[in-house]
Amino acid sequence: MNSRNELLRIIDTELALPLAPEHLDVEFDRLEGWDSVHMVRLISAVERATGRQVDVSAALESRNLAEFLTLAAALGETA
Amino acid sequence: MTATGTERAAEPAAPVERLRALHRGGELARSFPAATDLLRRIPIAELDTVARLFGGLDADEVAEHHPATPAVRVDVCANGTAAELIPLLGAHLARSGMSMRAHSAPYTRDHTRVPWSEPPAEDEGPRLRLLLLDAHAVVEELAVPWDVAAVETALGDLLGRIEALAAAQRAAAGSTLVLNTLPLPARLVDQLVDIGSRTRLGIAWREFNTGLLRIAEAEPGTVAVDTAPILAETGPLYDDRLACYARVHLGTEFLSGYAREVAATVRALSGRARKALALDLDGTLWGGVLGEDGPEGIEVAGGSRGVAYQEFQRVLAQLGAQGVLLTVCSRNETEPVERALSDHPEMALRREDFVALAANRRPKPDNVAEIARLLGLGRDAFVFVDDTATEAGAMRDLLPEVGVVHVAGDPALHPRRLLEEAWFRTLETTEEDRTRRERYRGEARREELRQASGSTVDYLRHLGVEVELLRPAPEAVARLAQLTQRTNQFNLTTERLGADEVRDRLAAPDHWVVAVRSRDRFGEHGVVGAVFARREEDRLTVDNMLLSCRVFDRGIETACLRALLVEAREQGCTEVVGRYRPSPRNGRFAALYTDHGFTERNPGGTADGGAGTRVFAHRLTAAQGCGPDALPDHPDHIRLLSPSRG
């Protein structure tokens, strides 16, 4: 899980939220349609897709999707 | 023979993909009935995969396009984070054909002060108030270190507050309060080290849950969802990390099970419970094929899987005893079915358990519509159960109001597939429900159902039948031999062949061996038939022709015979001869050849092929002042691939 496109695809299919690449850098409180529940869903979805555990407390503290992606990408590196 | 055209009708996209496309295009509300139909094609246990799509669905927009769609108003008050619940409820209700107006009410410790929404007076649809509690409603009351007495106190206090809420609910006419029993998390009980304390905690917890169920039993405006069966079917109650950091104390799988129960409650409240079952027989109520295997050959209690069919029959009997009307919808013939149900020693269900019996050759959607008419029920009162993908798919497409349970695969799963949908949930059953079966029974109704036969053109067109005639590859030899050995009904001479005999005929230049493959829009059926013929000078003799009962009544035999006649003519034959040797099971096809433009030779007399064998001939060329016999028409609804001998 390390490409922006892959993250966008998961967000689209699992969260039913069609976002564009530029939205990844928008802070969550300014990201239209985003609420805190989405992060909970996203964590579960990424864990299902990768079979690895995300650092949940860090993920919940990330300020935008790009930050979350950095966390998720770290999963792949330990593979 | 090789396929000349292998392109197939495009596979319809999977329901999940089609729902996502509707959502992406902003079409969910406008296409609400289509969304309902797609949701019904997704197994109910997998509904959480599409639930997000229904989180933001606007009931007003649904009403704008589909004013008859019932809208359910649901207030959710949960002590933990249950944001996942609303989309799940939306999806489960949409699957039941209902839209949802959801409102989240903030949790307060004093339950009588929960700010439920105040819907406008003209809003007459079902209204639910969900108080969704998890164990934290108790845990939060405990100071470390705690003992069982502290838990008992907290539970008693919580039950008192719930009781007060249920009492206040009496004044809220028109809405229903939905409580739930509290799941007992391992996390809580495992913090106690001594077995005595653990036992007392278990007792206190169960007493609380029993008390809560008693409140629901006593208060008319209150129901309870018992979470124990949900917990038995779902994974861990929560994810430790999400519970700790995000207060998600009830996981998605559990919430989906809870949403399913709530949707079933709404259906019960609004009189939308189903009332009748239309049951397939072969592969559904018993193993094997009655027409092929005979009553002694089907698996009802014996055989490797008989125990599973027996169990399924018992489940059906249990439903029947509570007023669910059982009917038969089978492609078998009536008499053997009547006999099997009456005489088979192992049946848990008997003829008198069924109020109508449609065992005939009509399309099943026609039969269900006819049974509904005879019983004076709407089609939307029916649930159809079948193990065949084509039958289940055709019913979904042609009678979308009928509930469909496709019991594929192992019969041990049949009870789950049927019961997991809570089709028949009602608020209570009455004596009238229990005696309904008697009122509906009657010989006259049965007689009426027996008359019809044959498939309608619309039905056949919908199936999109494709037939491919091919020279069998060596790998197909075993399957062809198996067809000759196992097929009893459409087996015109019941000549059984071993694999070596099939191989010999394939290798012999004067023998024609044709494999018949078939598929339809619901799936691939593989090699379903065969023709064994041999050429002697200008005559082609069809030694045997076979077709699996899975594909009867689709005109496949007509397409095959016509293609064979055409091919024989092109190869310079002047005549095709067919043979039919009666057996106890193949009487249904005694007239096959005469129905297809053949004339019987020496009717009543004996002919080649042994005693009792009847011989039919089809003239391909003019002779003795007579023209050639007419070719049977190719059935329009069948797409024939590779009609020429390669």
Query: Distance between CA atoms of A31 and A38, rounded to whole angstroms?
Result: 11
CATH of the domain at A58: 1.10.1200
Residues of chain A with pLDDT under 70: 1-2, 76-79
Q: Is the pLDDT of residue B282 over 70?
A: yes
The pLDDT, as a whole number, for residue B432 is: 73
Chain A residues in contact with B20 by the CB 8 A cut-off are: 13, 16
β-strands B575-580, B614-619: how paired? antiparallel
Query: Distance between CA atoms of B424 and B320, rounded to whole angstroms?
Result: 11
Confidence band for B313, pLDDT divided at 50, 70 and 90: very high
Query: Distance between CA atoms of B492 and B511, rounded to whole angstroms?
Result: 18
Structure tokens at A64: 């935008």
Query: Using the beta-carbon criterion (under 8 Å), do A16 and B242 form an inter-chain contact?
Result: no
Mean pLDDT of chain B: 90
Q: Could you read off the pLDDT of B493-526 as tens digits, one per residue? A: 999 999 999 999 999 999 999 999 999 988 888 9
* Contact by Cβ (8 Å): B111, B165: yes
Which H/E stretch holds residue B599?
strand B599-601
The pLDDT, as a whole number, for residue B439 is: 72
The reply to whether A49 touches chain B by the CB within 8 Å rule is no
Query: Distance between CA atoms of B263 and B276, rounded to whole angstroms?
Result: 19
**Contacting residues for B283 by C-beta, under 8 A, at least 6 apart:** B289, B387, B388, B407, B411
Confidence band for B448, pLDDT divided at 50, 70 and 90: low
Chain B residues in contact with A36 by the CB 8 A cut-off are: 246
Q: Is the pLDDT of residue B5 over 90?
A: no
Report the 10 Å Cβ neighbour count for A9.
12
The reply to whether A42 touches chain B by the CB within 8 Å rule is no
Confidence band for B449, pLDDT divided at 50, 70 and 90: low
Confidence band for B271, pLDDT divided at 50, 70 and 90: confident
**Contacting residues for B436 by C-beta, under 8 A, at least 6 apart:** B323, B325
Closest residue, chain A, to B18 (C-alpha): A13
How many domains is chain A partitioned into structurally?
A: 1
Query: Using the beta-carbon criterion (under 8 Å), do B52 and A15 form an inter-chain contact?
Result: yes
pTM score, two decimals? 0.86
Q: What is the mean pLDDT of residues B343-368?
A: 92
Q: Is the pLDDT of residue B443 over 50?
A: no
Q: Is the pLDDT of residue B9 over 50?
A: no
Q: Which of B120-124, B145-149, B281-285, B552-556 has the lowest mean pLDDT?
A: B120-124
Q: Could you read off the pLDDT of B118-175 as tens digits, one per residue? A: 877 777 788 999 999 999 999 999 999 999 999 999 999 999 999 999 999 999 888 9
Confidence band for B491, pLDDT divided at 50, 70 and 90: very high
Q: Which domains does chain B have, with CATH numbers?
A: 15-269 (3.40.50.1110), 276-454 (3.40.50.1000), 461-641 (3.40.630.30)
Q: Is the pLDDT of residue B8 over 80?
A: no
Q: Tell me which residue has tokens 């007689």.
A: B447
Q: Could you read off the pLDDT of B211-233 as tens digits, one per residue? A: 999 999 999 899 999 999 999 99
What percent of chain B is modeled with pLDDT above 70? 94
Which H/E stretch holds residue B640?
strand B639-641
Chain B residues in contact with A20 by the CB 8 A cut-off are: none
Q: What is the mean pLDDT of residues B45-65?
A: 93
Query: Using the beta-carbon criterion (under 8 Å), do B84 and A37 form an inter-chain contact?
Result: yes
Chain B residues in contact with A56 by the CB 8 A cut-off are: 241-242, 245-246
Report the 10 Å Cβ neighbour count for B106.
8
Q: Tell me which residue has tokens 């459409």.
A: B490
Q: What distance separates the 2 farthest-apart alpha carbons in chain A?
A: 34
* ipTM of the complex model: 0.87
Give the DSSP per-residue string, B90-139: HHHHHHTT-EEEEEEPPP-SSGGG-------TT--S-EEEEEE--THHHH
Range of the domain at A60: 4-77
Q: Is the pLDDT of residue B643 over 70?
A: no
The pLDDT, as a whole number, for residue B1 is: 40
Confidence band for B608, pLDDT divided at 50, 70 and 90: low
Confidence band for B451, pLDDT divided at 50, 70 and 90: low
Continuous H helices in B288-354 = 290-293, 306-321, 334-343
The reply to whether A3 touches chain B by the CB within 8 Å rule is no
Query: Distance between CA atoms of B113 and B135, rounded to whole angstroms?
Result: 20
Closest residue, chain A, to B55 (C-alpha): A16
The reply to whether A43 touches chain B by the CB within 8 Å rule is yes
